[in-house]
């Protein structure tokens, strides 16, 4: 059996006629920047979250950078972000001229540890970036409480958390702003790069809109960048959006099946925070024999991936900050053990059974 780590073609085939129709409509409409598709997608995505403003941008990395910069973060400021995440959760801070301050993981979870947060706060700290990593919400109640107490801004990184819920509340609705990615493999993926910002703050929304579109196309009130979402991607995302709840349920169901089959196998299975909805952008397990297990699965036709092979502060890009693994005892302990198993809505139960059996075969 051959099971890739992700299969984007399977999703296209499942809604081929709808996607083809949307693409054709854009081609026939002859407008490739701006237009009704962008408005319709932004409105639909904002409405889904019960948030007033959605600003479509070119990708999730820009969504983080633009919101942080328009929140006023700049040189001299410090922003706290998790040590375990995708680099965009940190690069957005340096791109604003500010300094990223890395926080360790909550033991047992992979999200920012609120218990270690306050020790990192200095008079220069201006903002926090909780990342709802792998689809699991960060522990927002204590994080928001700390932010309130220290008057810090909160930017949620929702790139892996479409429809995830923290105690009933959708991720992306709890901070001052939220950044989403629609990179093709994300739970809601475009056919190329795309992203958006959500906020209830009208003034912030207007600033982000201007900055992402060259400071205002005709007026150039400020100096901005070109970070627009393509019309084509907006049409594709609007077409895919109604399928997102079903795809999310499928990810949850398949993950539960993995967890049932792998219980007692010796692998550390992904925890689900009490009262929360984990939407499994990734199904990540931990094993002391991670590299050998990965190679064995590969030899049996099963694709896996590492998220992430290095903590952010230990990447070459941050060597100048001179961080050491000892500063992040929890995350550093997980680093060599993390393995992401295949997961996408079209994966079958039989394939999950085959993967689980192959893992158990290796471990026993």
Map tokens 């639909």 to a residue: 44
Taking the C-alpha atoms of residue 23 and residue 13, their distance in angstroms, rounded to an integer, is 15
Does residue 308 have a cis bond before it (omega within 30 degrees)?
A: yes
By CB under 6 A, tell whether 229 contacts ligand PLP.
Answer: no
Instruction: Specify the residue, 129 or 359, whose C-beta has the smaller distance to ligand PLP.
Output: 129
Angle at CA of residue 117, ends 187 and 166, nearest 5°: 35
Give the binding-site size for ligand PLP (rule: CB under 6 A): 15
Q: What is the DSSP string of 7-32?
A: -HHHHHHHTHHHHHHHHHHHHHHT--
Residue whose Cβ sits closest to ligand PLP: 60
By CB under 6 A, tell whether 155 contacts ligand PLP.
Answer: no
Candidates 13-21, 39-47, 156-164, 332-340; binding stretch for ligand PLP (CB under 6 A): 156-164
Q: What is the DSSP string of 177-226?
A: EEEEE--TTSSS--SS--EEEEES-HHHHHHHHHHHBTTSTTT--S---B
By CB under 6 A, tell whether 86 contacts ligand PLP.
Answer: yes
Exposure on the CB side of residue 138, measured as CA atoms within 13 A = 34
By CB under 6 A, tell whether 231 contacts ligand PLP.
Answer: no
Q: Which of 11, 42, 61, 304 binds ligand PLP (CB under 6 A)?
A: 61
207: annotated active-site residue: no
Which residue in the list 69, 167, 186, 349 is annotated as catalytic?
Answer: 186
The least CB distance from residue 195 to ligand PLP, in Å, is: 5
Query: In the 8-state DSSP scheme, what is residue 213?
Result: B
Site mask for ligand PLP (CB under 6 A), range 157-186, x = bound: x-xx--------------------x-x---
By CB under 6 A, tell whether 59 contacts ligand PLP.
Answer: yes
CB of 179 closer than 8 Å to CB of 159: yes
Contact footprint for ligand PLP (CB under 6 A): 59-61, 85-86, 88-89, 131, 157, 159-160, 181, 183, 193, 195
- Residues involved in catalysis: 186
């Amino acid at each position: 059996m051959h099971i890739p780590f992700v299969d984007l073609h399977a999703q296209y085939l499942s809604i081929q006629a709808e996607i083809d129709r949307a693409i054709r409509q854009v081609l026939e409409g002859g407008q490739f920047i701006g237009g009704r598709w962008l408005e319709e997608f932004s409105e639909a995505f904002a409405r889904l979250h019960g948030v007033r403003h959605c600003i479509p941008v070119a990708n999730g990395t820009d969504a983080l950078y633009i919101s942080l910069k328009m929140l006023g973060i700049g040189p001299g400021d410090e922003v706290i972000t998790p040590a375990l995440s995708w680099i965009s959760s940190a690069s957005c801070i340096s791109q604003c001229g500010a300094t990223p301050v890395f926080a360790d993981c909550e033991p047992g979870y992979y999200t920012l540890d609120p218990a270690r947060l306050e020790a990192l706060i200095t008079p220069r700290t201006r903002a926090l970036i909780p990342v709802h990593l792998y689809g699991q919400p960060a522990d927002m109640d204590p994080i928001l409480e700390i932010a309130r107490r220290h008057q810090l801004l909160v930017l949620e990184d929702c790139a892996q958390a479409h429809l995830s819920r923290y105690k009933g509340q959708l991720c992306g609705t709890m901070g001052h702003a939220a950044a989403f990615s629609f990179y093709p493999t994300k739970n809601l993926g475009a056919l190329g790069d795309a992203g958006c910002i959500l906020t209830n703050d009208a003034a912030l929304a207007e600033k982000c809109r201007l900055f992402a579109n060259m400071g205002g196309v005709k007026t150039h009130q400020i100096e901005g960048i070109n970070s627009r979402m393509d019309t084509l991607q907006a049409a594709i995302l609007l077409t895919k959006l109604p399928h997102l709840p079903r795809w999310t349920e499928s990810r949850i169901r398949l993950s539960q099946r993995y967890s049932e089959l792998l219980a007692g196998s010796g692998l550390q299975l992904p925890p689900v925070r009490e009262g929360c909805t984990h939407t499994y952008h990734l199904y990540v397990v931990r094993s002391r024999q991670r590299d050998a297990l990965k190679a064995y699965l590969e030899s049996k036709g099963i694709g896996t991936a590492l998220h992430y092979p290095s903590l952010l502060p230990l990447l070459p890009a941050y060597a100048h900050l001179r961080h050491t693994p000892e500063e992040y005892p929890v995350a550093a302990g997980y680093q060599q053990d993390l393995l992401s198993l295949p997961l996408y809505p079209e994966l079958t139960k039989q394939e999950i059974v085959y993967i689980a059996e192959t893992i158990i075969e290796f471990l026993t």
